[in-house]
Amino acid sequence: MDFRRVAVATLAEEVRLGKVAARELVGHALARIDTLNGVLNAFVALDGDRAMATASAIDDAVAAGRDPGPLAGIPLAVKDLEDAEGLVTTHGSVTRGRGPAAADSALVARLRAAGCVVVGKTNTPEFGWKADTENARFGRTLNPWNTEHIAGGSSGGSAAAIAAGMVPLATGSDGGGSIRIPSSCCGITGLKPSLGRVPSGGPTAPDWQHLSTKGVMGRTIADVVGALEVAVGPDPSDLRSLPRPEASWQAALDDAALPVRVAWSPTLGYAPLDDEVRAACVRAVEAVASSGVEVVELDSVWERDPVDEWLTLTMVYSLRSLAETRGTPLWAQVDPLLAAQVDYAAEHVTALDLVKAEDACHRLNLRLVEIFRDVRLLLTPTCAAPPPEAALGGAGRINGVEDFNWVRYTYPFNMTRSPAASVCVGRSSAGLPIGLQLVGPQHADLVVIRSAAAMERLVGFDELAPTATISPSGA
């Protein structure tokens, strides 16, 4: 059995038909985690006994003729920013996680109700603040394609677990690229739904209120959409939740195709780009054009990098999360760069600064509205560089030059709340995955879903990135 070679829908159907036991799927996941996690450090907590008991209950339901749900028996990992009942939510920080969560988040509850079996929690940078899944509490998650490189972040534990075949599904969240970046780094397809599609309510307010979108991660867009089919829809505790879409997201894959006219922007107007990433993305865009789609190249989407406004928002959000920790003995154990951002926000960022950053989001979106009057999809690189070396502490190499902001392509589309996906379209000379980003108009998730499925076929995704090999050389 290899989760990377069998679709989630196929696995669940075999469980529902009694051809494969849920215990077999969960047992395989736990064995795979036991074998590989010491190398990759994707998981930070396991719930093996309960997972096997849940799988047994699913098998009993099948034997009794009861429907166990559309995701019956599918092992699920939960990112450690999200609550799963009975497991501690640490946020990757020594400042959190004094006891197990009393209840599931809305997303985890919906996935469990559909038949998923939670097997454990995956690693994240402290409070999900950066694109390198590393923290003082659990250490760094490494890339399954080459363990000398990082898995990306902040959903790096989830992405690495899927790419290594530990689990077929995991939860993620994306406040600046945190689903798309690790998906690109680990060679899987990642989707950031429109803000409000997947509920992020609950007893406490969302950490990054206007930026972060929850989602489900899988190897292919079909796997992701099959899980999102049960996850999307409103929740009364989420102020931003959108009505449930009338159309079936899974059915959208039946007529998957790229729009007749798309835009391609290699730099967004401001981003330096590594030559190997550019070459892989250009080959994919040329394949799009060869398929009959009209491609319009945009030299500039925005005049400048909106990183200052994005940082204003995220620093204040982090201050809110860590305000009570500042000045306590635990403060010395917070990531020094995160602590510096929080201190800066506390001492220098005003309420007016915060509102002006929100105004910048509005202006960014106005430009997208203009672009999407002419095209139905925007293509960009997902990341400016291949997955960075772990030894560089999260800095990428753009044509050999170290650059910590190798993720300039993703956070603008959190600011605009746009649906966006990353599809693996190539590999670097070192064998590391390279992603192409697909961005849709406001709330046009189905356009992005259909396009991602069509792109997977167009670039030969199954041959390009069939499995990740766990070795320092990547061989």
C-alpha distances in angstroms, 401 versus 275, 404, 408?
12, 10, 15
Question: Which run of H or E residues covers position 119?
Answer: strand 117-122
Which position among 79, 121, 130, 214 bears the catalytic label? 79
Residue 255: other Cβ atoms inside 10 A: 9
Distance of alpha carbon 434 from alpha carbon 277, whole angstroms: 6
What is the distance, to the nearest Å, from the Cα of residue 281 to the centroid of all Cα atoms in its chain? 20
154 is catalytic: yes
Using the Cα atoms of residue 272, residue 173, residue 197 and residue 460 in order, give the sign of their dihedral.
Answer: positive
Bridge partners (DSSP) listed for residue 420: 192, 439
Query: Are 214 and 82 a contacting pair, CB within 8 Å?
Result: yes
Which position among 93, 121, 130, 154 bears the catalytic label? 154
Using alpha carbons, select from 354, 274, 368, 282 the residue that is nearest to residue 317: 354
Residue 288: other Cβ atoms inside 10 A: 23
The angle at the Cα of 231, spanning 228 to 237, to the nearest 5 degrees, equals 145
- What's the helix, strand, coil split of the chain in %, to 5? 40, 15, 45
**Cis amide prior to 212 (ω within 30 degrees):** no
Residue 248: other Cβ atoms inside 10 A: 12
Q: Which residues contact 425 (CB under 8 A, 6 or more apart)?
A: 280, 281, 283, 284, 434, 435, 436, 455, 459, 464
Which position among 93, 155, 158, 178 bears the catalytic label? 178
Query: Are 285 and 392 a contacting pair, CB within 8 Å?
Result: no
Query: Are 32 and 161 a contacting pair, CB within 8 Å?
Result: no
Residue 267: other Cβ atoms inside 10 A: 18
Residue 475: other Cβ atoms inside 10 A: 7
Distance of alpha carbon 131 from alpha carbon 422, whole angstroms: 15
Query: Are 448 and 377 a contacting pair, CB within 8 Å?
Result: yes
451 is catalytic: no
Gyration radius from the chain CA atoms = 21
* DSSP tag of 331: G
What amino acid positions are annotated as catalytic residues? 79, 154, 178
